[in-house]
Amino acid sequence: MAAPSHRRSLRGRRTLAVAAAVVAAGAGAGVFVMTANADAVDLYHRSLPAKDGWAAAGTGTTGGAKADSAHTYTVTSRAQLVKALGSASDTAPRVIKVKGTIDANTDDSGKKLTCADYAAGTGYSLSAYLKAYDPATYGRSELPSGTQEKARAAAQDKQAKNIVFKVPADTTIVGVPGTGAGITGGSLQVKGVDNVIIRNLAFSATEDCFPQWDPTDGDDGNWNSAYDAVTLRGATHVWADHNTFTDAPHLDRANPKYFGREYQIHDGALDITNGSDLVTVERNRFTDHDKTMLIGSSDKDSTGKLRVSLHHNVWKGIVQRAPLARIGQIHVYDNVYDTTTVDGYAPLYSIDSRAKAQVVAEDNYWTVPSGGKVAKLLSGDGTGSVAGSGNLVNGTATDLVAAYNAASSKKIKATVNWTPTLTAGLETSAKNLPAELATSTGAGVLK
């Protein structure tokens, strides 16, 4: 990026003055929205502020802040996004400005692609798949194998090559304000790289055309899909800010059932797995989704990693995993959880601490409808911990762990082995969060 002028415009000086006043007042994370009205470079080349969650640790998270003009792109289509992301050999920092909504299920010319297009030439058909692996004849002891399972995998691979976008290190992807910026039907994959920023994007309709039947999953089997809207696998220093995640327009209640189980075409919204570390997720909106956020891919994921901060997010109309946390040190603060059933998405729990996860949950606000049970806001396997205070349920201070433990044989520990220090924006009272976050979270807020 070219060296900036030492002179500032009057507008710039006024913006800096306002930002300084806000910082002095201790408004913390609110600065992000206010200073976003500065010159465009401030939005597109912004770095994560100091002490703003785990992603601020060590070298911090700068994304594409150092991108030069040759690596600053404005994209409006899938093909342009693929080109902007570049190849593995091009390691220069980059900024990608997403203008409008990009449909991942299109070809390079912009033609709409359907599930039938991905299945073409593979030999897969849902009717043949259902006939081949009907538990009445195939049984329930083994995963599907054979001709139709190979065909399903081939069709799924064709879809993946089209809708999965691999994000390189030192990259910022940000939606252009006022354009309805987002990605529909796609999956951003941040795998094995460091220093990525994802901001101001609406993620919707990330759908797997070819879920796999697993008769061994649970007592009755399950249909399992691929593709999270955003997936972090072995990624470090990632900042996800002011994004919106939703299944819409195809909601789970429209899914059919096969073999007595829901044909689930959605996976995670934002999953953080395979030893990912130093992640801050803030001021996002999660709605109309089932398995929302997974931290740790299994009980054997990487010890000493999976350090994640979640703050000032809104979770409404989600069923579970807000988050499901394994192993790591996770700080959950100043979030709003509305456990009202929305669009058929009936909550099971909010936070699940398992596999010795060390969760600090403080100053969050839960809305629980009449008849809802506070004991069901948490979940665990008997090995996880949830510490913290200042959590409100319908405006009343509540000991979530005590409520859960009173109703469960698998107790959650109330002490952890660490103390959060990267807590920029921490508000010591959750009382006003529902009103505050109603207008300051999700895509479309930044200007």
Distance between CA atoms of residues 127 and 149, nearest Å: 12
**β-pair partners for 36:** none
Burial 245-283 (b: 16+ CB within 10 A, else e): bbbeeebbeebeebbebebbbbbbbbbbbbbbbbbbbbb
Helix ranges restricted to H, 52-113? 78-85
d(CA 10, CA 310): 36
Which of 284, 303, 306, 304 is closest to 295 using CA atoms?
Answer: 306
Written as six digits, the tokens of 4 are 């900036």
> Closest by alpha carbon to 229, among 179, 281, 192, 194?
281
Cα–Cα dist 151/80, whole Å:
30
What SS3 state is found at 51?
A: coil
For this structure, is 321 an active site residue?
A: yes
Token digits of residue 77: 């289509």
When computed from its CA atoms, the radius of gyration of the chain, rounded to whole angstroms, is: 22
| Torsion region of 343: left, alpha or beta (phi above 0 gives left; psi -120 to 50 gives alpha) | left
Distance CA 91, CA 7 (A): 32
- Extract the tokens encoding 2: 């070219």
Q: Which residues, 6 or more positions from 63, have their beta carbon under 8 angstroms from its beta carbon? A: 47, 93, 95, 170, 171, 172, 195, 196, 197, 239
The answer to whether the CB of 306 falls within 8 A of the CB of 335 is no
Cα diameter, the chain:
76
Among the listed residues 199, 321, 326, 354, the single catalytic one is 321
d(C-alpha 399, C-alpha 415), whole Å: 13
Token pair belonging to 320? 């579970």
Catalytic residues: 321
